[in-house]
Chain A
Amino acid sequence: MAKHKTPMLDELESGPWPSFVSDIRQQAEKGKQILKDAPEDLLGILELSYEDKVTHWKHGGIVGVFGYGGGIIGRYCDQPQQFPGVAHFHTIRVNQPSSKYYSTNFLRDLCDMWEKHGSGLTNMHGSTGDIIFLGTTTDHLEPLFYDLTHELNQDLGGSGSNLRTPACCLGMSRCEFACYDTQEACHQMTNEYQDELHRPAFPYKFKFKFDGCPNGCVASIARSDMSVIGIWRDEIRINQEAVKAYVGGELAPNAGAHASRDWGAFDIQKEVINLCPTGCMSWDGSKLEINDKECTKCMHCLNTMPRALRIGEDRGAAILFGAKAPILEGAQMSTLTVPFMKIEEPFDELKELIEKVWDWWMEEGKNRERLGELIQRQSWQKFLEITELEADPRMVDEPRSNPYIFWKEEEVEGGWTRDINVFRQKHQR
């Protein structure tokens, strides 16, 4: 018999999709968690929030583990008498392994550990990528942290004004489009910047994410202050025989995806050539040609004909800065800053760039100002100065649309002063 009546939550279980309500009930029935009442009371408080149409959570607090300024988020409910099982319900972020590869053994150990120290409820994964442990009390934090680090060799992730847990795509472990080893880069950066990850250093949060190619499976371009996106700078490798096999229907386009419906015969002109955003491809019926200088690496042709087209061999990454999704202004994608950088061990060039950017942001950033907002406030030109990069047409979406770049007086012949009489000779008042 359920502890609380939850008619509205029951509705959520009646739909066609798996419901989180069923998951929480499953944990309540299993009952192995040390905080016995947590799952039932969690459902109860959620039902109450649905009734009242307001949240009953208070977030934020001084909870944490010794020496760490992030990874644990204090959470309390404002109806502790009615829902004692979630009166204190702190969230723990656990740094996920690169690309989120686990053995089932590891997952079992992780869940057992969480039942020993908390509600048993998890969120795999939070938006930053972490394994999220949902709900425990302050006295369980240190023992959990000890077990996590000593028995499972796992660390906490980032929260607050810290470097957030770095995230990467599957990269070279599974994907032939990966232009650099995203997992290695992510792992090395996580180790290198432990201090920034665990001890607040910044005006606000900072995220970097590693995409192996412009398909962007971790969506770094929209979700991180610094996006590292794999790219190549030579030519797309074309296998003309395989192109013909696609055209002749011997190979399924999109590696067989979308095959649940009959889309008709593959039409290379319509489905690839005409969809190329820069119009840099042509097909004469027997040969595919690509003008690689015009290619913007949209990935459409490679995704459609992966057996025929392959990424180039001179590989690295483009680095972009400044994405964020603020509530008031709407989402902003990151801006191309370094068109190409080799991403290889020991990643010194990448680290040098990161540190220049951090030094500036730590010095100049206002409280709760993300890097992208600082760039907007102080200009792209200023950002290029601190990163010691030359302005490049590829940093601009289209002519005259970028408001950040201005001339400086010393860059203009004659400066800002002019002889008004000379001017008037050509321009009447």
Chain B
Amino acid sequence: MTDDEAKQVILDTLEKKSKSKSKFYLRDFYAMIPDMKSRQVKNLVNKMVQEGKLEYWSSGSTTLIGLKGMGKQHQEDD
């Protein structure tokens, strides 16, 4: 699977789950692309944040990742 294909899988999966969940642990992304090594997935996810497709959400102790612009906090801010 190429990086671009993997990115699309991530976006599609997040989109599909977006009605019930907007934030995911990094580990959840590993499961989306089981053929890829965890470290590669981690790098890909971080790259997608740089590209503005995903965004981090941090409680301070734990970091979650979701589609940019999704979730309750954005609705509140709007």
A interface, CB within 8 angstroms of B: 59-62, 64, 67, 69-70, 72-74, 91, 159-162, 199-205, 359, 362-363, 365-368
Contacts and interface: CB of A to CB of B under 8 A. Distances in A.
B58 A73 contact: yes
Closest 9 CB pairs of A and B: A160-B63, A60-B59, A73-B60, A200-B63, A160-B58, A161-B63, A367-B25, A69-B56, A199-B46
Contact of A160 (B46, B49, B55, B61): B61
B58 A159 contact: yes
A316 B72 CA distance: 51
B58 A61 contact: yes
7 contacts: A62-B56, A67-B49, A73-B60, A159-B58, A161-B63, A200-B65, A203-B27
Contacts of A69: 46, 49, 56, 58, 63
A114 to B, nearest CB: 19
Given A67-B50, A201-B42, A363-B38, A62 B61 contact: no
A311 B55 CA distance: 50
Given A61-B57, A366-B27, 12 more contacts: A60-B60, A64-B58, A67-B50, A72-B58, A73-B60, A160-B62, A200-B46, A200-B63, A201-B26, A203-B25, A203-B27, A362-B42
A205 B59 CA distance: 12
B56 A200 contact: yes
A204 B38 contact: no
B73 interface: yes
Interface in B22-39: 25-27, 38-39
Contacts of B49: 67, 69, 199
Given A67-B50, A69-B49, A160-B63, A200 B26 contact: yes
Interface of B: 25-27, 38-39, 42, 46, 49-50, 55-63, 65, 71, 73-74
A65 B55 CA distance: 11
Given A203-B25, A362-B38, A368 B62 contact: yes
Contact of A59 (B27, B46, B60, B63): B60
B58 A74 contact: yes
A14 B56 CA distance: 43
B73 A61 contact: yes
A59 B38 contact: no
A161 B55 contact: no
A366 B26 CA distance: 10
A203 B29 CA distance: 12
Contacts, number: 78
Given A64-B56, A200-B56, A161 B39 contact: no
Contacts of B25: 161, 203, 367
Contact of B58 (A70, A359, A366): A70
A91 B55 CA distance: 19
Nearest to B52: A66
Name which of A159, A200, A205 has the most chain B CB atoms within 10 A of its CB: A200
A62 B38 contact: no
Contacts of A366: 27
A200 B44 CA distance: 12
Q: Which of B59, B60, B61, B74 has the most CB of A within 10 A?
A: B60
A161 B60 contact: no
Contact of A161 (B38, B62, B74): B62
B37 to A, nearest CB: 9
Among A67, A160, A162, the one with the most B-chain Cβ atoms within 10 Å of its Cβ is: A160
A60 B71 CA distance: 13
Contacts of B56: 62, 64, 69, 160, 200
Contacts of B60: 59-60, 73, 91, 159-160
Nearest to A365: B27
Contact of B55 (A62, A159, A367, A368): A62
A359 to B, nearest CB: 7
Contacts of B74: 62
A134 to B, nearest CB: 13
A60 B59 CA distance: 4
Given A69-B46, A362-B38, A362-B39, A367 B27 contact: yes
A62 B46 contact: no
B26 A62 contact: no
A62 B46 CA distance: 15
B62 A204 contact: yes
A362 B43 CA distance: 13
B27 A160 contact: no
Contacts of B71: 62
A60 B58 CA distance: 5
Contacts of B65: 200
